[in-house]
A and B are shown apart, each in its own frame.
Chain A
Amino acid sequence: MNPAPTLANLLVLGVGILLAAAPHVARLPWWVSALALGALGWRAWAAWRNERMPRRWLLYALVVFGIGAVFLSYRTLFGRDAGITMLVLFLALKLLETRTQRDVIIVTFLCYFLSLTNFFYSQTIPTGILMAATVLVLTAALVGFSGPTRPVARNFRTAGMLLAQGIPVMLILFLFFPRVPGPLWGMPSDAYSGMTGLSESMSPGDISALSQSDAIAFRVKFDGAPPPKKALYWRGPVFWEFDGRSWRPGSVPNPGDPQFDPLSPPVTYSVTVEPHNRPWLFALDLPGRVPPGAQLTADFQLHARRPVRTRLRYDMSSFLEYRTAGGSAEALAAARALPSGFNPKALALAGQWARGAGSDEEIVLRAVDFFRRAGFGYTLSPPPLGHDSVDDFIFGTKRGFCEHFSSAFAYLMRAAGIPARVVTGYQGGEINPVDGYITVRQADAHAWVEVWLAGRGWTRVDPTAAAVPLRIESGLAAAVPRGEPLPFLTRPELTWLRTLRFNWEALANYWNQWVLGYNPERQRGLFNRLGMPDTTWQTMAQMLFWAVGAVTVAFALWLLRKARPRDAAHAIWLTFCAKLARRGTARGAAEGPRNFADRAALAHPRAAARIRAIASLYIDLRYGPERDHGGVARLRALVRGFRA
């Protein structure tokens, strides 16, 4: 009853394990992959040559060694990465001690779990497809283990059918299973490594590193027509403090309230931000609304309470033209502070501007003019800068990226006595003609400057736009000189590829919005649309129970339907017999139609003529010389209308 698994099925399982573990290989220590592959190979060889499997003590030794090595690699045995490493190790070694089909089935379950762990790292469509294939292969192996005589190809068909038939229940559970927000307990510290995005400080090179990334930062859907591209300044972290090299948020004394007067009607839109493990949310300058669970700082940054670790969607409105309220004296002083002992040439230049100008506005205009004329160039691989980074940039290399421009401009402004701060975020975005979403990528990361002007408040100045207007008007690809490396997909010659990408990303966005983004809020929305607002989880559980039960019963009725005769007349006859059986006259299995009709006619004298007519027509159709299709219809009508 429990024989050894067949070679073919073991091979199928091996393929399943490889598929489930393949995406992990890049993340696993090399020796784990090697050990697992070795174990797999050993098992395949043992099955193929019918060799004996390793002895138990060797396996135990390997397990102990593996645990030790994992501990040395990760300094822990718990946590996400260490856990997955252990799982892969254990799976490979468990396979080496499987002798019966029952053992192998447990391995298959572990593989299902291993498939799930891939979603810790990626939940994209390709990963989903790969894991769907993995689950199909694993299920085929499982089918093979319980029906060892079947050919492998048919196991795949059965597995596919089982999975397909599982989809209705899956959909019900997915939509109606009560969703719980947030983690159930503290997450391991390594859970969110590897997310990209703007950082908490800005030093030269930070943003240009991001600019090589095609990864999506967030997606936006405007309620009306989107504003022009050059107005799309997505506000992120604001930096006040400069230490000569890096900009930091700093601590602003007495910052006041985030108040401003809107000068234009609001634009409304929704943002779906990718997880980046930082608290800030992005909105167009300036945000006119605060999403639930977030707050607006005095310098108009949107902060979520927790770092954004799952895809987050929120509705926003913004005012593109505005006048901010006056800042406190302490805040303005902080916006003028400069570290001493840096950039003497820049200080001198700023002093020169300040002396020759009548107003702050004039100084700003002169500075912008300077940026426009000084022959700055835009590059994604700027030359290194020395101790006096601003001096080196303005008077030396003249080649840089937005952080160089904004850093230099803010420095010059502060040197000229004008309060200035650096704002990082994203600029622009790409409209996807397929679904109308604007995609903002990490490559769109940008930095600009805000200066304080009396009567106008904080005013945005983009020195990059002044120096390299193409960057803002046409995007990164236009601004960067030919021959420099660009993010692959922003290259202009690949139009067809971009069309393809638009489609793909629309699909991916749909996937994100509706599959991955199905969260407690969306679920609540669904229940509202179903006319059941404020559904408690108890109600949901009840609904779930009944819905799954109904689907199961429907499937059961369909699967367990009686073998239907191929002969239509016979099928109708059986219906007729069933009708009479409900009236207490059941046909014996070996009772011929005429005998049954005679008996039934005796039992139901009032229906006798009809019973005989039906039986006689049935005998004609089933035992008579020619098949008469009109007769079948007549029989069906007679039986349908029959009441005993």
Chain B
Amino acid sequence: MILQPVPQFDSKSVPPSSPSGHAGATPIASAALRRVVEQTSKVILGKERQIRLALACLLSRGHLLIEDLPGVGKTTLAHVLARSLGLGFHRIQFTSDMLPADIIGVSIYDRESASFKFHPGPIFSQLVLADEVNRATPKTQSALLEAMEEHQVTAEGESRRLPEPFFVIATQNPSHQVGTFPLPESQLDRFQMRLELGYPDRAAERALLQGVDRRDLIASLEPCVTPAELLALQGAVRQVHVSPALVDYVQALVEYTRRSPDFVNGLSPRAALALVACSRAWATVEGRDRVIPEDVQAVLPGVAGHRLHPVVNGVRRTSSDIAVGLVEAVPIP
């Protein structure tokens, strides 16, 4: 058998709309998406695939975890996405002395009204960049993760809804770095997807070095979609068709992870749901109204990578290794 290379997606290889005549998602939506991708790609060079994945993650209403070494553009990506999507944006730099209130906000006694007034924290924003989330203590982390799960925060016994849409893009350094509190497994599961950016390739890096300052670029970015369009896009994602044959494939993948000797634990039902949701979003980003196995394969490393723990047999294996092995091992039914 010939081992297939990991499916490589770039905008050029996406085939033109099929001759049988079905258009993708609504044309306006796909045009808006294309603009977002194009604009982001101008800032983050040579990372179009990761940009699309990040976009898919947000469109599937999931939170994104970007894990990589410092300085490869994690923060910039989050920033650019926020600008391009026209979302309210807050950045929280996590540190070890940070308290939950620093995120959620505090009630302060207001002399004028003679009552406690709640000052919302930075989490009350449509897009929250939680930078270096693994530097904070578990307590602070769990405050963030609770907010991510519930889309609301509870302070002083009162629940407050977070704005809609609400996304968290968290970045973390690889956990073997010193002074970090790695996110526990149960909380990693809250992130729909985990991405690794990696170093840019030679050409991209050259362009980066020769080009304008990124900060100036970001400042000059204009939103590509209106909030209404974004909501419509999210609605379109939910409309993407998932056929029984595709569900078979997802089930085959999940069942394989559960019985394979390569993993400590298999994928949870929540992970399977995330896989389907991200596949739908990816299909939307690709401009299709149905999910095909390639979509599942495209998002699988991001969705499954942080949820599967390989049984280490001496060789260190990265999450994308795992996903590639998984794709290879499970035939498409």
Which stretch, A323-331, A406-414, A433-441, A617-625, touches the partner chain B? A617-625
Complex CA distance for A592 and B282, rounded to whole angstroms: 15
CB <8 Å contact, B245 and A570: yes
B314 within 8 A of A: no
A630 to chain B, nearest CB (A): 11
B140 to chain A, nearest CB (A): 41
CB interface residues, B 272-322, toward A, < 8 Å: 289-294, 297
B177 within 8 A of A: no
CB <8 Å contact, A619 and B1: no
CB <8 Å contact, B18 and A620: yes
CB <8 Å contact, B332 and A592: yes
Contacts of B331 in A (CB 8 A): 589-590
Contacts of A619 in B (CB 8 A): 18, 290, 292
Contacts of B328 in A (CB 8 A): 590
A616 within 8 A of B: yes
CB interface residues, A 338-393, toward B, < 8 Å: none
Complex CA distance for A620 and B245, rounded to whole angstroms: 12
Query: Which among B22, B243, B328 has the highest number of chain A CB atoms within 10 Å?
Result: B243
Other-chain contact of B20, A588, A592, A598, A616 (Cβ < 8 Å) = A616
Contacts of B269 in A (CB 8 A): none
A308 within 8 A of B: no
Other-chain contact of B4, A570, A595, A625 (Cβ < 8 Å) = A595
Question: How many contacts A-B (CB < 8 Å)?
Answer: 74
Complex CA distance for A595 and B291, rounded to whole angstroms: 14
Interface residues on B, range: 20 to 34
CB <8 Å contact, B2 and A624: no
Given A570-B245, A613-B19; A598-B290 close (CB under 8 Å): no
Other-chain contact of A612, B15, B246, B290, B329 (Cβ < 8 Å) = B15
Complex CA distance for A586 and B1, rounded to whole angstroms: 8
B175 to chain A, nearest CB (A): 30
Complex CA distance for A45 and B149, rounded to whole angstroms: 68
CB <8 Å contact, B22 and A620: yes
Other-chain contact of B292, A567, A570, A623 (Cβ < 8 Å) = A623
A592 to chain B, nearest CB (A): 4
Contact flags B15-27 to A (C-beta < 8 A → 1, else 0): 1001110100000
Other-chain contact of B243, A589, A597, A612, A623 (Cβ < 8 Å) = A623
Complex CA distance for A255 and B289, rounded to whole angstroms: 108
CB <8 Å contact, A620 and B20: yes
CB <8 Å contact, A588 and B4: yes
A610 to chain B, nearest CB (A): 11
* Nearest opposing residue in chain A for B292, CB measure: A623
Contacts of A588 in B (CB 8 A): 1-4
Complex CA distance for A593 and B291, rounded to whole angstroms: 12
CB <8 Å contact, A622 and B20: no
Contacts of B291 in A (CB 8 A): 623
CB <8 Å contact, B243 and A622: yes
CB <8 Å contact, A594 and B15: yes
B241 within 8 A of A: yes
Tell me the dominant secondary structure on chain B's binding face: loop
Complex CA distance for A623 and B249, rounded to whole angstroms: 11
Query: Which among B1, B7, B20 has the highest number of chain A CB atoms within 10 Å?
Result: B20
CB <8 Å contact, B243 and A624: yes
CB <8 Å contact, A592 and B15: no
Contacts of B290 in A (CB 8 A): 619-620, 623-625
B113 to chain A, nearest CB (A): 56
B142 to chain A, nearest CB (A): 38
CB <8 Å contact, B18 and A590: no
Interface residues on A, range: 20 to 34
A591 within 8 A of B: yes
B32 within 8 A of A: no
Complex CA distance for A591 and B245, rounded to whole angstroms: 15
A642 to chain B, nearest CB (A): 15
Complex CA distance for A624 and B290, rounded to whole angstroms: 6
Contacts of A612 in B (CB 8 A): 15, 19
B197 within 8 A of A: no
Given A588-B2, A623-B243; A593-B293 close (CB under 8 Å): yes
CB <8 Å contact, A593 and B2: no
CB interface residues, A 273-325, toward B, < 8 Å: none
B13 within 8 A of A: yes
Contacts of A593 in B (CB 8 A): 292-294
CB <8 Å contact, B18 and A595: no
Query: Which among A593, A619, A623, A624 has the highest number of chain B CB atoms within 10 Å?
Result: A623
Complex CA distance for A455 and B246, rounded to whole angstroms: 104
A624 to chain B, nearest CB (A): 5
Given A586-B2, A589-B332, A619-B290; A598-B245 close (CB under 8 Å): no
Given A588-B2, A589-B1, A613-B19; A623-B332 close (CB under 8 Å): no
Other-chain contact of B332, A590, A598, A620, A624 (Cβ < 8 Å) = A590
CB <8 Å contact, B7 and A595: yes
Given A619-B292, A623-B245, A624-B22; A590-B15 close (CB under 8 Å): no
CB <8 Å contact, B293 and A624: no
B327 within 8 A of A: yes
CB <8 Å contact, B243 and A598: no
Complex CA distance for A397 and B13, rounded to whole angstroms: 118
Complex CA distance for A575 and B91, rounded to whole angstroms: 54
Given A591-B332, A625-B241; A616-B327 close (CB under 8 Å): no
* Nearest opposing residue in chain A for B330, CB measure: A590
B165 to chain A, nearest CB (A): 26
Contacts of B332 in A (CB 8 A): 589-592
Complex CA distance for A458 and B2, rounded to whole angstroms: 97
Complex CA distance for A619 and B241, rounded to whole angstroms: 12
* Nearest opposing residue in chain A for B296, CB measure: A592
Other-chain contact of A592, B18, B294, B329 (Cβ < 8 Å) = B294
Contacts of A592 in B (CB 8 A): 7, 292-294, 297, 332
CB <8 Å contact, B19 and A616: yes
CB <8 Å contact, B13 and A598: yes
Q: What are 14 A-B contacts defined by CB distance under 8 Å?
A: A588-B3, A590-B330, A591-B332, A592-B292, A592-B294, A594-B292, A616-B19, A616-B20, A617-B18, A622-B245, A623-B243, A623-B246, A625-B243, A625-B289
- The 5 lowest CB-CB distance pairs between A and B, nearest first, are A616-B18, A589-B331, A592-B293, A592-B294, A625-B241
Binding site for A on B (CB under 8 A): 1-4, 7, 13, 15, 18-20, 22, 241, 243, 245-246, 289-294, 297, 327-332
Binding site for B on A (CB under 8 A): 567, 570, 586, 588-595, 597-598, 612-613, 616-617, 619-620, 622-625, 631
What 8 new A-B contacts, CB under 8 Å, besides A591-B4, A594-B292, A619-B292? A570-B245, A586-B1, A590-B332, A592-B7, A595-B294, A612-B15, A620-B290, A623-B290
